[in-house]
Structure 1
Amino acid sequence: MRKILFFIIFFISTAAYAATATIEQLPKLPEGTALFESEKTFGRRGKLGGFALKPSKYGIFYDDKQGGAIKMMYLKPNDKTFCGTYVILMADLSNYASLTFMVKGKTGNEAFEIGLNDTISNKREDAVMVGSIYRYLPEGATTEWQKVVISLADFYGSDMHKVYSLIFHYNEIGTGAFWIKDIQFHTEHLFNIEDEIYKKGYLLLDNFDHNDLNLLGRKTNTYKKLPSICESERAEDAFLGGKERALKLIYDKQSTGWAGYFTLLNQIDGEYFDLSKYKDVSFMIKGAKGGETFQIGMADRNWINIGDSLKAGQIEDFLPGGVTTDWKEVTIPLSKFGSLDFTQMGSFVIDFNKKQKGVIYIDNLRFTLKTKEELLAEW
């Protein structure tokens, strides 16, 4: 009887241990994992460190005044330098699904990106980033403790069997300080993006405020073929004002070549996004002078493989009066994009197809869900 009782207690405690783990409780790296001598010598679980190119600076330490929470500090004076901090894990995360931690800012609105290094990317100094803290805390860090929940699937491309460190990268100009505590890993999926989307009734793909990745953690970029060009930046001239930003596209479309901008819905070489339950795409738009024109396109899996997109039409086809110097909202039914497989969508595209030089601003790019009535009507 005692043996049976001991086994039950041991089984329950082992199951609980496996379901949630602190850094110290994580499984070790697989035997034979290739490590540099410096990684073997200086790398130990829970060790803190950082990186910087002067004049950027960082600071990181366990703060006894905050109950042993990790205090991180940064100073990034310009975009020509960089800095970041990290916590060494040296762990096998392959059986875990979620990462959680608590965060509190010294003044609030501290901005940073979150990433993971596996033992290969650590050697390349090329962490897999999932985007800004604002992706997981839409209001950002505050002076109160908040819980951050991240799906480990967001770190697409990392070898979860061989994770070396958790990265905090300071990608925005500024200075700040914040604390992190209670870093834990869970076998349970604690975050479901679809639940959040259904609560709001729409997917906000990008607000362009804090990161060059969109709010799905997917890549965004401009494309060009000379002599045509297109460049992008996050501009302070946002629709909502305040500290928010907008996407600024500076383009010069010549008679030859091409120029434009894309934001991905799929992971590169990964899963495509299902937009079959959505009815339209909308965004805010204004021009520096007015009269700017471009095509709006989307690509499913087939069009991604071709390297092109299917166009719904020119912006003025959906925006009475065309682009002006005032913010306007444009809404485009997804049906206008023609024959696409909306269960396997890859990208949204702004394509400058007419000879013109100009500047446009875009904000709050989102996809609206169909209502229950609209879904039932399709049956």
Structure 2
Amino acid sequence: MLKSGKPIVCSIAAMLMILSTALLMNGSNALAATSGSHPLKDLPVFSSTRNDEWAGAGSPLSLETEPYNGNPALPVDTAETYNGLPSLRLNVTSDGSSGFGWWSVTQADNNWETYSLVPYYANGALEFNIKGAAGGEAFTIGMGDRNYRRDPVQYNTSSIRSSNYVTVTTDWQHVRIPLTDLIPAGSVFDLNQVYLLYFGSANNNAQEFWLNDIKFTSRDQEHSAPFIKVNQLGYSVLAEKYALVSGYADELNAVDGTRFQVKRASDNSVAYNGKLKLVDDYDSQSGERIFEADFSSLLKPDTYYISVAAPGVADSLPFRIGTDVYQPLIVDAARYFYYQRQGIALDAAHAGVYTRGIGHPQDADAPFASGANPRRDVSQGWYDAGDYGKYVNSGAVAVSELAWAYQLFPNEFRDNQLNLPESGNHVPDILDEAKWELDFILKMRDQASGGFYHMVQPTGIAAPDSDATQRLIEDVNGSLTNVRPTDDAASAAAALAEASISFKKFDPTYANTLLTAARRGWDYLVANPNGVAPVPGPYGISDDHADRLWAAAALYRATGDDQFNRYFLDNYQNFASAWDGSRDNPGGVGNMAQTAFLDYLQAGHPDAAARAWFATEFAAWRKPVLARSEHGPWRNTLQDNDYYWGSNGVALNTMHVLAIGTIVLGGHDLRGDVRVGRAVESAMNYILGINPLHRSFVSGEGADSITTIYSTAWSNQGHPGVPKGYLADGPNIYNNPLLSCTTPAKCYLDNDSNWTTNENAIYWNADLVLDATLAAQIP
């Protein structure tokens, strides 16, 4: 699931700086929490380690700097410490010439991310310790935000002077500056999208001083979200129906056995009476006490809300009970891909208010990075995520998930369903949409070898129809040129083979084109048994073995050819670790071994011994997964350390592997296995509002759904908001140290400039389509 090396583009003092970032998913512990008080944590701008930074000066002044993450930054002084922490040294010198100089230091979050000071503002402060070399040193302090939906995107507050708060001496002193002084009330400054903290020159003096333990603080407590969490879309008639009632123990005035009622929204009449059941007195993922309100026996379709007989507990948001709760979500989640299309104008007839011109028309005549091959047309395909990159292996994963949704449940998908330009051609719209990406993948082929180039490089931050920067087909790795990574060939071969099965009924010629390209991709893998390393950049997969297995299984399913069967049988037992139930990341880019098994079991004549082996391994994997779904605090299978980038996608991916594995082994629908059906429903409940944040993580789906998404396209397009159906990546404890969360499941920020928690990606939305389709099978 990890997209490493993701480019982040940021501006500092009218400069554009392109920074490379690496997302770390492993090697970090989940946030610690205790069952006592719940104060807002200190947000560490600089403590023992630093976040990103830029420092510079102008004549006649100079500022001592050292390189850090590709930028000039202040030296970290481990000799000048205070309270056991190092300091930042600000050593300003002058060449003595005339004129008024300047110096400036920009302190940012890790990877130049935005963060929120909303809960800190009323009673919070910027705090730091300071010591001067001579005494009397002075400087200014200011802040900047970043909001792509506003003009100007970046707004800087007026600077305040340090001398109003401290007279610097040669001894360490503590300084506390109220946030209301830094950011005046009524300012257009967006407290939910804080970007930069500035220290700058107040005079033309040479001076030296040290700053230590820079942080934002507040004496306030962290507050609970609204207490009653429901699936904001609703529940199928025969589904398990529950709400979770949760909050900090000192705020939630409910106990085991507190009465609740489900009421009709139309007339407030009572449809169900029940009692809360304590689930967890202290949950480490949220820091909260959790109760369950179960109303599964309420079967009558209608719109309802929940009322709890406890002081201070407001009624829930409304929700539906019905037989078609998930059908609108399937449509919205699938229409997401139309909005992600490259190479087409989004017109009002199909996009409503979300129109734009042709995105990156230059892709129709793109050069290779090496210059070794002629320019070619690599238009079409989907923008992968929040950036403008187009990647073969991640696109293949998304296509695969859409293909599985259609092939398992074709009755859920029809022509004229998604209002696409292709609607009305007698092909289900979901296949028309997949074809937009498949055509791009086909264009990334090397005809001579059968291999596939990895990506069309992402570019700048202008709107897609305004970004005229050169985009390249990346084929360079160090001194190597014309690089066609084998993981891309394996992924493409698998997805093309799967898709050929779907198109055979509607367009046999196109299905044959897909299958021929898949076979040629396999030929390339055979010719390169030791693999071809990836080019630098996102989704660079060095170990292609899992995706080779996927390609073999998908091709065997599509063709029945013995060579693919032999490869699978010779290698499948090497992937027993894929069924280690203690881990909660069943698959994704570069790791599609589990899907390989599902494909193989769908083939016409799977080997009986392989099937039996898989049945045993799957049963062992399924047991802890179901246990986490049934007994985990939020019923999402995620463990405390699983809240990393893309955690929502992981929660959904786990469920579709569980469900499809059950289907291909048992040959029955989800109504035949109540536990699996409930697990799928529970994952959707979590995504759609039954989570500690009380948020639906899908734009436009529910009364408290997310309102923004990290998207270079939509953030710079000038539209008010984003289309319905965009899934955010979800809580993330690893990549943004200035998020004001103390527990894993709350490390989330809904804004348009934070990729760590609020980015979209094509394979996550494909997960959403597939899981919503699975949930829709329960009437």
TM-score norm. by structure 1 comes to 0.42
- Larger Rg, first or second structure (1 or 2): 2
User: Greater helix share, 1 or 2?
Assistant: 2
